[in-house]
Amino acid sequence: VQLQASGGGLVQTGGSLRLSCAASGRTISDAVMGWFRQAPGKEREFVAGLFRRGGSTTYADSVKGRFSISRDNAKNTVHLQMNSLKSEDTAVYYCAASYSAIWSSIAMTTAYSYWGQGTLVTVSS
């Protein structure tokens, strides 16, 4: 599966952005999908995850209540709605897919076999 992330940009503190991750080559309806981010000088970190089929979700504590992950099976796309953005949300955001991950590994980068190219989100104060 190939993943194409989009929707990043420059936004002011408190604003919103919606990231999209379009998949091609294979359906993602039975995949575990994740969003990760990497700020300059920092390691890539988990942001949000969406489990296969039933669609259970989980979020990093730092974004809980502000971000929401969802899947559009008809468009083979996953979205990350980001509200109440803070300067510390500035990073390159990556989407990822796995057809073998289990729930307990959903926040681990090593659980994912497929990665998008990343989209830059910059939050200015």
Phi, psi of 72 (to 5 degrees): -115, 95
Beta strands in the chain (DSSP E): 2-6, 9-12, 17-24, 32-38, 45-50, 57-59, 67-72, 77-82, 91-98, 114-115, 119-124
pLDDT at residue 114 tops 90: yes
78 vs 101: CA distance, rounded Å: 17
Instruction: Give the pLDDT confidence of 30-67 residue by residue, as tens digits.
Output: 999 999 999 999 999 999 999 997 679 999 999 999 99
**Local confidence band at 89 (pLDDT 50, 70, 90 cut-offs):** very high
Residue 88 φ/ψ, nearest 5 degrees: -75, -5
Reported confidence tier of residue 125, pLDDT bands at 50, 70, 90: confident
Tell me what the mean pLDDT of segment 21-35 comes to: 96
